[in-house]
């Protein structure tokens, strides 16, 4: 798996607020330093492609010191407009330049047509769970992989409305897309929990149905509870106990795959945020004896 094998342990989303804090601690690194449990970083390529000046210098600094993954925001795999092949060409160059081995995207869509012109909706919307959608999305994933010249991973998404035309449940749809597209899985633990509360299914049963051999890494994050039966996936709060428990169950089932902490808003100081990074590391250590089924090479 070449560079992909460097993605291991615990990761953290690289937000600009965190850059000077991580750099400061890195420059004073000791064996028991605050950031010793950060093993890889995640960035959204849309936020960095074409960035110049200090941002380009900052990214180069981190790329020299940490393995990195790209988690995309705007490819719109379920959208009706053609894939943005120009953007994918930029992604391919970006991955190559910074030696980033993995690109992942959401199993959702974020674009539509208005007055016969495509445009972005700036939200991640659910794809109808139908056979037609399986074939459509799988074809777009395969097109993406052909352009990039490498396998990608798709992330199970949170959603708040199930299309009335759906003919299958989320897990069946996810597995069908993974199989037909022959891609990897970017497993979001929080999204499983959020959807299980919003739609009343067993999160652990969902987890057991996930293909272990396709998991490349996972996300954990916090969410907002609007009602007892309505959770909003905000990435703006601490991870709750049931999500930690679900992550521990995932490790017990599948072994300790790489796991990244997402925090996109209300970002606390690094000294506070790192406590959740350390929890992931502790759970991984506790389950280190469980054999992991590693993803097959592309």
pLDDT digits (tens, 9 = 90+) for 231-284: 888 888 999 999 999 999 999 999 999 999 999 999 999 999 999 999 999 999
Q: What is the mean pLDDT of the chain?
A: 92
Pairing verdict, β 224-227 and 230-232: antiparallel
Taking Cα atoms as reference points, which of 129, 38, 49, 47 lies closest to residue 95? 49
List, for residues 110-132, the tens digit of each pLDDT value.
656 555 666 655 567 788 999 99
Label residue 295 by pLDDT band (50, 70, 90): confident
Pairing verdict, β 109-114 and 40-43: unpaired
pLDDT at 1: 47
Q: In this predicted structure, which of 26-35, 145-154, 196-205, 240-249 has the lowest mean pLDDT?
A: 26-35
Determine what percent of the chain is predicted with pLDDT higher than 90.
75
183 pLDDT exceeds 90? yes
Higher pLDDT, 293 or 199: 199
Label residue 6 by pLDDT band (50, 70, 90): very high
What domains lie within the chain, and their CATH numbers?
2-286 (3.20.20.150)
pLDDT at 121: 56
């Amino acid at each position: 798996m070449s560079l992909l094998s460097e993605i291991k342990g615990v990761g953290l989303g690289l937000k600009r607020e965190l850059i000077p804090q991580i750099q400061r601690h890195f420059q004073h690194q000791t064996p028991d330093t605050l950031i010793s449990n950060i093993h890889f970083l995640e960035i959204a390529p849309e936020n960095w492609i074409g960035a110049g000046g200090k941002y380009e210098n900052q990214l180069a600094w981190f790329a020299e010191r940490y393995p990195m993954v790209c988690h995309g925001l705007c490819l719109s795999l379920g959208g009706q407009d053609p894939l943005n092949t120009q953007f994918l060409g930029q992604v391919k160059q970006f991955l190559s330049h910074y030696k980033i081995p993995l690109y992942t995207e959401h199993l959702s869509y974020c674009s539509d047509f208005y007055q016969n012109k495509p445009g972005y909706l700036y939200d991640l919307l659910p794809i109808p769970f139908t056979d037609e959608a399986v074939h459509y999305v799988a074809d777009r994933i395969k097109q993406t992989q052909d352009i990039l010249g490498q396998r990608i991973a798709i992330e199970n998404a949170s959603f708040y409305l199930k299309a009335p035309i759906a003919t299958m449940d989320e897990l069946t749809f996810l597995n069908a897309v993974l199989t037909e597209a022959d891609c990897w899985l970017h497993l979001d633990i929080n999204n499983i929990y959020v959807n299980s509360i919003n739609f009343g299914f067993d999160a652990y049963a969902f987890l057991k149905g996930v293909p272990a051999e396709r998991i490349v890494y996972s996300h954990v994050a916090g969410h907002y509870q609007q009602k007892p039966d309505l959770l909003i996936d905000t990435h703006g709060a601490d991870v709750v106990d049931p999500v930690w428990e679900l992550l521990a169950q995932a490790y017990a089932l599948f072994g300790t795959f790489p796991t990244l902490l997402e925090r996109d808003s209300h970002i606390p100081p690094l000294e506070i945020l790192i406590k959740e990074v350390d929890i992931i590391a502790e759970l991984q250590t506790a389950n280190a004896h469980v054999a992991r089924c590693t993803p097959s090479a592309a």
